[in-house]
Amino acid sequence: MPLPCAAGFTSRAAMIEEIKQAKARALRAIQQAATADDLEKVRIQYLGRKGIFKDLLAGIPQLPADQKPAVGKEANLARKAVEENLNARKNQLGAAKPKAVKETFDITIPGTRPQYGRLHPITRAAYELIDIFARLGFEVVYGPEMELERNNFDALNIPQEHPARDDFDTFFIQDDILLRSHTSPVQIRTMQQRKPPLRIVAPGKVFRRDTPDASHYPVFHQIEALAVDENITLADLKATLDTAMKAFFGPDTQTRMRPSFFPFTEPSAEVDISCTFCGGKGCKTCGGKGWTELLGAGMVDPNVFKAVGYDPEKYTGFAFGLGIDRAAMYRFGITDIRLLFDNDLRLLGQL
C-alpha cells in the first residue's frame, strides 16, 4: 500500500480522513495479531521511525497555519489510541502464555499416586494351583457352567432320587439342564472324548443353593483333579495331594485322610491339612484340633468308568475336588468367605 504523501493533501478534511483510516487499519491489525511478534510488526509499521504515523505527522507543517492545530490534535489522538490498543493486546497475548500458568502451578506439591491393580485372591489361588498341578503333569481342561443333569449327576453315580443329590442341590435352568454343582462333569466330558491315560485338572465356578454365611456362598470355585491309568493306587492320590498341598500352603504342611463317602469314588476320603493359622498346635479357627478340613478325594467308582465306556477291570484312577475359595481363605488368613465377594478394596489391597 503506497503511503500517502503529505504534500498531496489538499485540505484539512482529507487529511483528517486519512488519519482516521490509518488508525482504523492499525486497530484492526492489532486485533488480528496472534503473537507478540505479529504485534511488534504492527507497531513498527504504524509507530516506527519510518512508520505511517510519522509520515502523516510530517505533512502537518505544510498545512495552512489555521488548519495545523485541528489536524495535529487528530493525529496525536489517533497515535495515542493505537499505542493504548497495542499495550492492551500485548497484555492479552502475554496472559495466554504458559508463563502465566506456571506461576499458579506449585511443583513442590506431592503428586497423586496411581492405584496399582492386582489379581483377586481367588484368581491368584487358582493360578497357583493350576501351576502346581501342571508341574505334576496335569493338563488343564474347562467345561460349561450350564450342564446336563446327566453329566452333573447320573454319570457320576448319583441317579435321580439318590439322597446324595441333596448335598449338591443346585439351580435348574430347565428339567435336564442346571448350573453345575461341582466341576466333576468336566471329568465326564473329558473321559467320553478320550482314552486313558488321563491326567487333568478342571478349575471353574460352581453353584449351590446355599444361604451365604462365613463358610458358604451360592457361587464358589473348585479345582478338580482326575488321573486314570492302569495300576493307579491310593498311594498315588496321597502322594499327589501331599506334594500339592506342601507346594501351596508351605513345606511344613501335613495332610491326613479320613474315611468318607462320595457316590463317585470308592473308597472315599476327606482330606485335612494341618491348620494354617496355628501350624497344627490348635487354635480358635481349627477348634483346637490342629487340622482343617480342605477337600474330598477317592478312587474313581467303577460305575463312573462304566458310564463313560472305560473298562473298570483294566483301569483305575483317583479324583479329588478342592474349593479354591477355601484354599485362598486359609492361605491369606481370611475367616469369612463373603469377604472374597464384597470387592472391598480396603481388604483386597492388603492381600
Interface with Zn ion (CB under 5 A)? 275, 277-278, 283, 285-286
Nearer of residues 60 and 283 to Zn ion, judged by Cβ: 283
- Residue in 187, 153, 239, 210 with CA at minimum distance from that of residue 325: 210
Nearer of residues 277 and 332 to Zn ion, judged by Cβ: 277
Instruction: Extract the C-alpha cell encoding 347.
Output: 481388604
For cell 493307579, name the residue: 232
How far apart, in whole angstroms, are the C-alpha atoms of residue 134 and residue 190? 17
Beta carbon of residue 297, minimum distance to Zn ion (angstroms, whole number):
22
Asked if residues 141 and 186 have their Cβ atoms less than 8 Å apart, the reply is yes
Beta carbon of residue 293, minimum distance to Zn ion (angstroms, whole number):
12
Instruction: Extract the C-alpha cell encoding 28.
Output: 484492526
Could you list the beta-strand ranges (E) of the chain.
139-140, 146-148, 172-174, 177-179, 198-207, 219-229, 255-262, 265-274, 291-300, 316-323
How far apart, in whole angstroms, are the C-alpha atoms of residue 47 and residue 227? 96
Instruction: Extract the C-alpha cell encoding 253.
Output: 504342611
Nearer of residues 28 and 256 to Zn ion, judged by Cβ: 256
Q: Which residue is closest to Zn ion by CB? A: 275
Beta carbon of residue 272, minimum distance to Zn ion (angstroms, whole number):
11
Beta carbon of residue 278, minimum distance to Zn ion (angstroms, whole number):
3
Give CA torsion, residues 328, 333, 334, 335, to 10 deg: 120
Nearer of residues 53 and 248 to Zn ion, judged by Cβ: 248
Beta carbon of residue 277, minimum distance to Zn ion (angstroms, whole number):
4
Nearer of residues 283 and 348 to Zn ion, judged by Cβ: 283
Beta carbon of residue 280, minimum distance to Zn ion (angstroms, whole number):
7
Instruction: Extract the C-alpha cell encoding 294.
Output: 480342605
Nearer of residues 90 and 289 to Zn ion, judged by Cβ: 289
